[in-house]
Amino acid sequence: MTATTSPPSGMGDAPPGSARRAVGATAQFEALYRSCASDLYAYVASMLRDAAAAEDVTALAFERAYRRRALFDLRRGSARGWLFAIARNAALDELRRRARSRALLDEPADESTPAEVDDELGERRLLVRAGLAQLDAREREVILLKFVGRLSNGELARVLGCSESSAGTRLHRAIKRLREVCHAPQ
């Protein structure tokens, strides 16, 4: 009889009769949820521009991750990057279902109220939103993943399905393009 082991992340299903390992895997998944839920929701909301749909897609992403936790391989990237990849796919599925002509949003969600934001910061946000609207979908996506999703370049690479250096290059080019359309100094 061969022994079954959990993935390096400890998030996989425990072998039969191993309640302690199952409790540990559940605790690790709960920690992943607590550390990523608000960033994941913000990213999905910025893609969908619909708070209710973003809540549903975020919940769906966590459900898919929980069901597939045994497939997670720490050697291929962080749990956070893996989770954002699942959320990205779920959000794109939602956009396809809606049959939108554009797969990504023109601007990130702004949850602040005008009273909370000073005039200069408000003007900058408007300028950035207008600049994001002028970017193509790939440029906008990499910027949203990095700054709304707060992903590292390694996590960004995993979500985009490319090397870390390629993700860094894409990000650099997208930021450069955003600065150009916003007429910001290089």
Over 80: is that where the pLDDT of 72 sits? yes
pLDDT digits (tens, 9 = 90+) for 119-143: 777 788 888 888 888 999 889 989 9
Cβ–Cβ < 8 Å for 78, 153: no
Q: What pLDDT sits at residue 22?
A: 53
Over 50: is that where the pLDDT of 18 sits? no
pLDDT digits (tens, 9 = 90+) for 73-121: 888 888 999 999 999 999 988 888 875 344 344 455 555 555 555 777 7
> What's the whole-number mean pLDDT along residues 37-46?
93
pLDDT digits (tens, 9 = 90+) for 50-64: 899 999 999 999 999
> DSSP state, 4?
P
d(CA 43, CA 105): 11
In the three-class reduction of DSSP (H, G, I as helix; E, B as strand; rest coil), residue 13 is classed as: coil
Confidence band for 11, pLDDT divided at 50, 70 and 90: low
Confidence band for 4, pLDDT divided at 50, 70 and 90: very low
**CATH number of this structure's domain 19-181:** 1.10.10.10
Domain ranges for the chain, please list them: 19-181
For residue 102, the tally of other CB atoms under 10 A from its CB is 9
Alpha carbon distances (Å) from 139 to 63, 134, 182: 28, 10, 14
Q: What pLDDT sits at residue 111?
A: 55
Query: For residue 16, what are the contacts with CB-CB under 8 A and spacing of at least 6?
Result: none
Whole-model pTM over 0.85: no
Residue % of the chain over a pLDDT of 70? 76
Q: What pLDDT sits at residue 106?
A: 47
